[in-house]
Amino acid sequence: MNIPQHRIHSLRTCANTCCRAVLLLCSLFIFSCGGGTAGTSGTGAFQFSGEISSSEGTGLGGVQVTVLESGQSTETAADGTFDLSTDIDGSTATLLLSQGTQDAITTVSDLPSHGAKVTVNVSIDTTQFTVSSQSVQVNPRPHRKPSPVPSSAPTLKPSPTPETKPTPSSGATTLLHGKATWLTLGGRGAQSLGDILLVFNPLGISTTTDSDGNFSVEIPASAATLTLLVTLKDKTFNAKGPLTIPAYPMDITLKVLVVNARKNPELPLGAAMILEAKTPRS
């Protein structure tokens, strides 16, 4: 059967038009299925910020601000403002304020467990370098959930490599050792604190520092959350900062900081147990 040339040309034109339409529809479909990005959750850290000022309202620059529970510190700017992010255990943060040979201490309580932005404005009586007043505002970080990822072809993920941990043998122990330091408010730096009794609860295991403030004690290698009870000059008080240890042998270095009053060196104001290092024992 002979088909006229003009008819063949019309059929080719129609076919080309249909192909272009199909390609355009496919392109639009692929573009409309483009992916997004998953949201990220908050860090959960505590962000401390604020201003250290004199009783007259003048910002105090060069003041060292240290969170005793974590050991993190920063220095105020010339206008007295500071900003410090850290992680802490517990619901209380103890802030040590130091300038030259002068020191003051203040606390922030009732902190949420999942982190917060904490604004602390402290007024200092510069004649004796003591805290005359403070205001605190705590804004808890919201519990954020990751944004849903658009559905797509399943992606095979490699199986996670299991963490290799030492296998505790019968009678294995964890070594706790370090140094106790007595920081006198208004004194010149920290001094070694000898002959104090340290009791690690709930185990009830105790040790006494030597004349240089050093201590060392072995405890069972089992998972536990330890608190520290300090007995000093017939006074007993709890140190801030619980310590969580794993269920396998560790070598843990601690710093025990005891703060006492400038006007009465015999009166402890508080103490903190600070983790400095930990490594598995072979």
Q: What is the CATH number of the domain that holds 259?
A: 2.60.40.10
Residue 84 lies in a domain: yes
Domain-ending residue, one of 116, 140, 164: 140
Question: How many structural domains does the chain have?
Answer: 2
> Could you tell me if 177 and 258 lie in one domain?
yes
d(CA 256, CA 218): 17
Report if residue 98 sits inside a domain: yes
Residue 269 lies in a domain: yes
Domain hosting residue 270, numbered range: 173-280
- Give the contacts of 177 (CB within 8 A, at least 6 positions apart): 214, 215, 216, 217, 251, 252, 253, 254
Count the neighbouring beta carbons within 10 Å of the beta carbon of residue 235: 10
| pLDDT digit string, tens, across residues 186-206 | 444 456 778 889 999 999 999
60, part of any domain: yes
Please tell me the distance from the alpha carbon of residue 200 to that of residue 226, in angstroms, as a whole number.
Answer: 6
Domain-located, residue 21: no
Residue 111 dihedral angles phi and psi, to the nearest 5° = -85, 140
In tens digits, what is the pLDDT along the chain, a chain of 282 residues? Answer: 555 555 555 545 544 544 444 333 333 333 333 333 322 223 447 999 999 999 999 999 999 898 877 778 899 999 999 999 988 877 878 888 888 767 788 888 888 888 899 999 999 998 888 888 999 999 988 766 656 666 665 666 666 666 555 555 567 899 999 988 876 654 444 567 788 899 999 999 999 999 888 999 999 988 888 989 988 877 887 876 678 888 889 999 988 888 776 556 666 767 778 777 889 987
Express each pLDDT in 2-46 by its tens digit. 555 555 555 455 445 444 443 333 333 333 333 333 222 234 479
